[in-house]
Chain A
C-alpha cells in the first residue's frame, strides 16, 4: 500500500541532489582535509629548514639516486591503479587483478625503500631526536609511509574482493575511491621529493651550526 512511499535501501546509497556518488564526495572532502594535514607538516619542515644547530645536515645524509628510484616506483604505481580501475570498469578482470596486484607490489617496494632509508639513517646516526632536520624529516616521511601502508592494506582487501567476486564493475567506485586516496599519497610524495629531497639535499652547515663529524 501507500505507493508513494519511497523505498530506501540504505542511507549510504541515496544520491539525489547532485548525482555524484556519496563515497566519492566523502573521499574528495577527506583529501581536502588531508591537504591541511600534510600542508602543516611540509610548512613546519620548510620553516625549520637550515635551523638545525648540529649535524647531520641534509647534505650529509640524503641520497638522491635511491630516492629517485623509489619515487619512480610510486609514480608508476599511480599509473597501475588507474589502469586497474579502467580494466575493472570494462570488466576485464584478469588485467584488473594483475594491475592491482602490481600496485600492491610497487607500494611494498616503496615501503621497502623507506625502511631501508630509515635503517641506514639510524645507522649513520641520524634519528628523530638528533636535530631539527631529523625531527621534521622523520615525522613527515613516516606519516607519509603510514598513509602508504594503510593504502596497501586497503588495496589488499580490495584485491581479495576481486578474487572473491565481490568487487566488479558494478561497484567500481570502491576501487575508484581507493585509487583517489592512492593518487593523493602519490602527489604528496611528489611534493616531498621536490621540497624535502631535491631542494634541501644541498643544504650544508647553516650559519651558527656545528659541522657534522660523522657517526660516533
Chain B
C-alpha cells in the first residue's frame, strides 16, 4: 500500500531475486508495463471466450431438437451457469480491461498507468480468480444455480456440494481484481493526462473508461457483499437467505441487481467508447456531438443505479415500485438512443472506408439498436410479466452483449491490432469473419425472440416436440456453429497475419487521437516527449491544422509525422523495474478463497502469502539500485 520511497530502504530478505530481464518468460510474469499486461488480459480472456463458447455450443446441441438427451441434465445446469458467468466476468469485462490497459496511457499521453504494480495485481488476481472458478469442473461439479445464483437454488439446503461456493468465492476474487483496476484507471485518467488535455478534450474511449471505472469501483463492492453473505450462508450456516429463519431470498435479488444493473453498463460503455473512436476515423469526420455522447455516457452511468428492480418485476414488489422502475427504465433508454443517433450522424456525409473494423462497428450499431428496442419492450412491467425468464430475454441480452459488446471488441481488435503489435490483421479474412458472425449471430438469436414469445422458458433442459419450437431451435443451433466458424476464422486470421506480417506504419488509418502519433508497436516508454494537447482529436488537428479554420475541405497533407524514436536516448527515460509481488498476492488471495471451502490451513498459507507480498511490495524500491535502467 504505502511505498516508502526514500533512498534508504530497509531490506526485506528476498526469496527470489528481482526479475530484471526485458526478454523471456520473467519479463512477462513480473511485468508492470501496461502494454504487456493488456496483452496478457487479452490472451487469457480470449481463452475463456473460447471456453464459454464451447459451453454455449453444448447447450445449443442439447436444444437442437425436441426430447434431446445429449447432455446430462445436471451438466446442462452447470453449462448454462458457467456460460453466463464466464462470458460476463471472464470475457467481456477483462477484454474491455485489455483495451483499457493498452489504450488509456496511450490516449492520454502518459508513460504508464498511475500504479503499475497495482495494475499487475489486477491481472494476476483476475487470472487466478478465473482459474479458481473453473477448477470446480474437476472438484465435484461446477456452479449450477444460474449466473445470478438466486436463492433457494443456490442455498446449501437445496444445492449441496461446493459448486455455488466456488462461484461466489470466484466472484469475490474477481471483484478484487476489478476494483483494483477500476481505482487505478480513475486515478490515471484524473491525474496523468498530458498537459492541456482537459476533461472535455479527452478521447471518447477514455471518457467511457472513466465512467466504467467509477461504476466498477462502486458496483463491485456490492457484489462482494452479496458474495460474503452467500458464502456465510453456505459455509457458516448463517441465515441471510434462509427463509426458515425469516431470511428473505428477495434480498439476494435486490443486492445482486443493485450490482447487476450497473454491471450491464460496465459491459457496454467500453464498447460504446470503442465504436465512438472507430466511426469518426473511417468516416473522416469528427464525432457528431462529442459532448452529447459524453454526457449521455455519464447520464447512463448515473441513472443506471436507479433501475435495478426492473429485473424483479414479477416478484411482487407491488404496483407502486413497478411503476417507478418502469419509468426510470424507460428514461435510461433516452441517453442510449441519443448515442445511436450521434453515431448515425457521424456516418452521415462522411467519406466512409468499409474496413473490417468499420463493418463490425456498423454491425454493432444495428445489432445494439435491435437489442435496445427489445429492451424497451420489457421495461414496461406488464409486458415484462409475459417475457420474464423466457428466451425473449435471452435474445435481448445477447443482442446487446454479443451484438453490442463483442462486436465492438472485435472492431477494436481489428482497429488497434496494427498499433498494438505492429502488423495488420488480414482484411480479407476479417471481412469473412464479419459476414459469418453477422449471419450466425442473427440466425442464432433472432429466432429466440419468437421462441420466447411462444413461451419457451430460459434454462429449460429439453422440450416436447408438439410445442412448435423445433425449427427455431434448430436454426439457433446452426447459427451457433456458424459463430464458432467465424471465431475460428478470426484465430486463423491471427495466426496467418502473424506468419505473413504486413507491417503497419505508426498511423495506418489516418487516426485522430494521441495513440496514433507514436510508432507501431509503441516503444516501451510510449512517448519520448510528453505531448501537449490543445484540441479534441488533437493528433488529427496537428496533422491538418487548416481544418481548424472552419473549411471542411482544408489542406489534407499531414503537417506532422509520427514520432521518430530512433534518436531517443533511452537511458534518459526511467521506468519502474519489474516486480513479482503482484503475482504472489494474486496466488495468495485465490488460495485463501479456496481454503474457505476446504481447510483453514490453506487460508492461512494464502493470507501469509498476501501479507508477505504486501510488505515486500511496500518496501521494494522503484528501481533496483546499481542497475542499468531502461
Contact = CB atoms under 8 A, between A and B. Distances in A.
**When A and B assemble into the complex, do they touch directly, with CB atoms less than 8 Å apart?**
yes
Contacts of B576: 10-12
Given A11-B111, A16-B192, A22-B191, A135 B574 contact: no
B191 A2 contact: no
A9 B186 contact: no
Contacts of B192: 14, 16-17
Interface residues of B, number: 70
A37 B225 contact: yes
Interface string B202-238: 0000000000000001111110111011001000111
Contacts of A18: 190-191
Interface string A16-33: 111010110110011011
Nearest to A154: B1
Instruction: Choose among A4, A22, A153, A167 the residue with the greatest number of B CB atoms under 10 Å from its CB.
Output: A22
Contacts of B224: 37
Interface stretch (A81-89, A106-114, A124-132): A124-132
Contacts of A37: 221-222, 224-225
Contact of B4 (A129, A134, A171): A171
A170 B78 CA distance: 55
A178 interface: yes
A33 B233 CA distance: 24
Q: What is the predominant secondary structure among interface residues of chain B facing chain A?
A: loop
Contacts of A138: 238
A213 to B, nearest CB: 17
A25 to B, nearest CB: 5
Contacts of B615: 157
B2 interface: yes
Nearest to B180: A30
Contact of B573 (A5, A135, A161): A5
B10 A33 contact: no
A9 B116 CA distance: 13
Contacts, number: 193
Interface in A52-107: 52-54
Interface stretch (A40-48, A115-123, A189-197): A40-48
Contact of A26 (B115, B193, B574): B115
Contact of A154 (B2, B182, B195, B247): B2
Nearest to A2: B569
B537 interface: no
B6 A11 contact: no
Given A25-B187, A171-B6, A1 B569 contact: yes
Contact of A7 (B1, B112, B572, B622): B572
Contacts of B221: 33-34, 36-37, 40
A23 B237 CA distance: 39
Interface residues of A, number: 63
B217 A29 contact: yes
A170 B618 CA distance: 16
A143 B106 CA distance: 39
A140 to B, nearest CB: 10
Contact of B183 (A26, A51, A136, A168): A26
A90 B183 CA distance: 31
A154 B2 CA distance: 9
B6 A40 contact: no
B308 to A, nearest CB: 13
Contact of B618 (A20, A132, A157): A157
B245 A53 contact: yes
Contacts of B197: 17
Contacts of B236: 128-129
Contact of A5 (B251, B255, B528): B528
A182 to B, nearest CB: 13
A131 B238 CA distance: 8
Contacts of A2: 528, 567-569, 572
Contact of B179 (A7, A15, A23, A33): A33
Contact of B187 (A8, A22, A132, A165): A22
A190 to B, nearest CB: 19
B191 A11 contact: no
B3 interface: yes
B245 A8 contact: no
A174 B113 CA distance: 20
A208 B530 CA distance: 69
Interface string B476-512: 0000000000000000000000000000000000000
Contacts of B237: 128-129
Nearest to B239: A135
B298 to A, nearest CB: 16
B255 A131 contact: no
A194 B220 CA distance: 26
With most chain B CB atoms within 10 A of its CB, the pick from A13, A135, A177 is A135
Contacts of B226: 40
A10 B574 CA distance: 7
A139 B238 contact: yes
B168 interface: no
Interface string A156-167: 011001001111
A171 B530 contact: no
A215 interface: no
Given A10-B576, A40-B258, A174-B4, A5 B569 contact: yes
A25 B572 contact: no
Given A15-B191, A52-B246, A53-B245, A29 B186 contact: yes
A5 to B, nearest CB: 4
B376 interface: no
A166 B10 contact: yes
B114 A22 contact: yes
Contact of A135 (B9, B184, B238): B238
B240 interface: yes
B193 A17 contact: yes
Given A25-B187, A37-B225, A16 B1 contact: no
Interface in B550-600: 567-569, 572-576
Contact of B6 (A4, A34, A170): A170
B10 A4 contact: no
A171 B619 CA distance: 14
B190 A25 contact: yes
A153 to B, nearest CB: 8
B157 interface: no
Given A5-B529, A44-B255, A143 B228 contact: yes
B116 A12 contact: yes
A29 B193 contact: no
Contacts of A33: 179, 182-183, 217-218, 220-221
A4 B567 CA distance: 12
A163 to B, nearest CB: 10
Interface string B83-113: 0000000000000000000000000001111
25 contacts: A2-B569, A5-B529, A5-B568, A8-B525, A12-B114, A16-B193, A16-B195, A17-B190, A22-B114, A26-B184, A29-B183, A29-B186, A30-B183, A32-B217, A33-B218, A36-B219, A36-B221, A40-B255, A44-B225, A128-B237, A134-B239, A135-B245, A157-B618, A174-B4, A178-B2
Interface of B: 1-6, 8-10, 32, 110-116, 179, 182-184, 186-187, 190-193, 195, 197, 217-222, 224-226, 228-229, 232, 236-240, 245-248, 251, 255, 258, 525, 528-530, 567-569, 572-576, 611, 615, 618, 622-623
- Per CB-CB distance, the 8 closest pairs between chain A and chain B, nearest first, are A37-B221, A174-B2, A40-B225, A10-B622, A11-B112, A5-B572, A135-B238, A36-B221
Given A129-B239, A143-B228, 14 more contacts: A5-B568, A8-B111, A10-B576, A12-B5, A14-B110, A25-B186, A33-B182, A37-B225, A136-B240, A138-B238, A139-B238, A153-B611, A177-B2, A178-B2
